[in-house]
Structure formats: C-alpha cells, structure tokens
Amino acid sequence: MKKIYGLIVMGLLSLGDTHYSLTAAEEQTVSDTDAFIAAVRNGNTKTVNKMLASGSVDLNAVHSYGYSPLMVAAGKGYGAIVDALINAGAEVDKQNNQGKTALMLAVAGGHVSVMETLIQAGADVNKMDPKGVTLLMIAARRGDVAVVDTLIKARADVNKVVTTDSGLTPLMIAATEGHGAVVNALIKAGADPDKENLANPLTFTALIIVVQKHDRGDMVRMLIFAGADPLKKNSKGKSALDIADHTMKKVIEEAVKERDLSRALNHKLKSEPEVLGDVMQGMPAALRGLVAEYVEAPFGQHSKARAAKEKKETEKAVREQQESAQPGQEKRKEGVEDATAPVSRCVGSLCSWLSGKVYKKE
C-alpha cells in the first residue's frame, strides 16, 4: 500500500514541477525587459491605460520566460488591467514557454473575478499544459472551492485524466490532498467516483486513496453514496475494504447499507407516491422535513413552505442529536456540506422508520 501512496505523490509532484506563479527571478526579468510589462506587473493601471491609448505597445509581446502582459496581470489578480488588455485585443489563450496561460495563472492565484473575465472572453477552461495538467486539476490541488465551482460552471471536464504516467483525475487529486469540499463539488458535478488511474501500472480509485491516506469518514461516505464500489480491486487485488482498518471498515459497511436502503426507499416512494401520503399521517414532525429533503420530488399535499419550516425543525433536532453523540462516534466535519448530507441525516431515523411503515403495507 505504501507503493500506492508513493505513486500518488509522484503524480502530484509531476503537477508541481511546473510553477503556476512568477518566481522572483522571472518577475525581475519582466521588470527589466519591458516597460509596459513592468507597469502591468506593478499594477499601475493609469500607466497601462496611457500606454495602451498611445498604440505603441505590443499587447502580446513576451519577455524571456514567455509571459505576456495578460499573463502577468492575471497571475497578480489585477482585474482592471486584465479588462483593459482584453478590451484592447490581448490573446487570452496565449501560452508561455512552459505552456501556462493567463487563466492557469489566475486559477493558481485563486483570482475568481479575473477567471470569470477571462472565461467570458473565451479562455479555454479545458486547456492543458504540456504535462497534460488541466485547470481543474490545479484548482483541485489548491482546495479552493470557489475556483473549482467557477470552472465547473464554465463546463470544465471533471473526469479529465492527467496525460502522464500518474493518470490522476481532479477527484483523485482532491482526495489525495484531503479537500473534502472539493471532492463534494466534483461529485455533484458528475465526477466518476469509480474511475481508475489506468495510465499507471498500479491502479487505484479515489476511494482507495481516501482509505489509504486519510482518516476521513465524511469523504468515504461522499464517494460511496456517489456510487464508489468499496470492493473494486486495484491491480494488486486489493480493494478499499481490504486495506481499511477496523474503524474504517465499519464506516464503509454502514455507508453501503445506508446507500442501498436509501435507493430502495426512493424507488418505492417514487413508484408508489400514495404510500408516502399514508405513512406521513403518523410520522413525527421532525421527520417530515427530512422526507421533503430526501425524496427528490414532492408527494401528496406536502407543500414546499411547510417542508422548509419542518426542515429547520429537523436541522435543530439533528444538531442536538450530534451534540449528544456518544464519545468515539464520528461527527460530520463542520463546513463541509457533503453530497450525502440529506440521506446521512435521515438514515438512522427516517429510513428505519419509513422502511418499517412502507414495507409493512405490502
């Protein structure tokens, strides 16, 4: 298993070989080489606009490292200058000597507003550098959910694979770095939780990575509820369940049971909506809010307004239940609203209650 982690690290190191920001030496070269690029680098909007108005500057000129004025402004997060350069006709997808684009530099810097400007101007959100690294992979490694969401909204490919020996996907990268919120965002956007790094002789999935590297039950649950198979084996014949310790095995087994039960109940309630109307008459008020959140479509006379009110009551009850949890019980990490949250909250109470009521009527 150490070999798996070693290969993952090597894959991430290959991403890190290319720096997505200016080094001190590069910045100095920019400053010394061209007055216009130097003005951009220093964020001197007034000087930049004046030089643009003069018509005497080459918008796509580069210094010795291949950085254009737009790349420098994007990497620094200078929105006003980025706007001015784009309006003046700067080439948005121009690449420097290492294959970096202005959008790659903005992503690496976490400059969301600049990213949006570049994307609106036509920047390619699926552009790869010479190593096959995409923008979403850079964002996944950084762990910045706002950046990831911006790329997803612009239809970045969530299942793209690094075209090197590592074969990592954005989801695998986020899982390796322990960025639960990014894992959640990628899953919601359709990332394949069972995709393997087939470019590497030793295969693994995002779930195997999480089980191997992190003690993160929340991420394991996200992946399993999204469809990850804990019995899927790598090229060495080991699955996530095989390599999990005793505690994590319990998390995996419980998540699988909850997922399967939730799917069965959802199918039952969708195919026979009258069942829900019958059982809701005797359902505790706190659980009715969970029904509205859990079932994907409204049933019977359960209005959205009432559902919202009951959802608040339910969340309060859930918080109180979590606070009184027994020592050693895992609590969902704060700040990470995972893709399984509605089902996770209801399975212990709602699903068991519903399963008894629903199937009792057959």
Q: What is the pTM of this model?
A: 0.71
Place of tokens 């490694």: 141
Rounded Cα distance, 205 and 194, in Å: 6
- Residue 283, pLDDT > 90, answer no
In a 13 Å sphere around the CA of 192, the CA atoms on its Cβ side amount to: 11
pLDDT digits (tens, 9 = 90+) for 85-122: 999 999 999 999 888 999 999 999 999 999 999 999 99
- Residue 289, pLDDT > 50, answer yes
pLDDT digits (tens, 9 = 90+) for 204-228: 899 999 998 887 888 999 999 899 9
- pLDDT recorded at residue 303: 43
- pLDDT recorded at residue 119: 98
Rounded Cα distance, 143 and 137, in Å: 10
Structure tokens at 7: 């290969």
What angle is formed at CA 150 by the lines to CA 147 and CA 151, rounded to 5 degrees?
A: 90
Comparing 145 with 335, the larger pLDDT belongs to 145
Place of tokens 């959008």: 103
- Residue 298, pLDDT > 60, answer no
Burial of 20 (0-12, 13-18, 19+ CB in 10 A): buried
Structure tokens at 76: 């620094």
pLDDT band at 280 (very low <50, low <70, confident <90, very high): low
pLDDT band at 334 (very low <50, low <70, confident <90, very high): very low
- pLDDT recorded at residue 299: 36
24-28, 317-321, 343-347: the lowest-pLDDT one: 343-347
- Range 290-309 average pLDDT: 48
Instruction: Indicate the residue type of 8.
Output: I
Across all residues in the chain, what is the average pLDDT? Answer: 77
- pLDDT recorded at residue 125: 96
- pLDDT recorded at residue 294: 52
Comparing 337 with 350, the larger pLDDT belongs to 350
Full set of structural domains in the chain with CATH:
2-243 (1.25.40.20), 246-360 (no CATH)
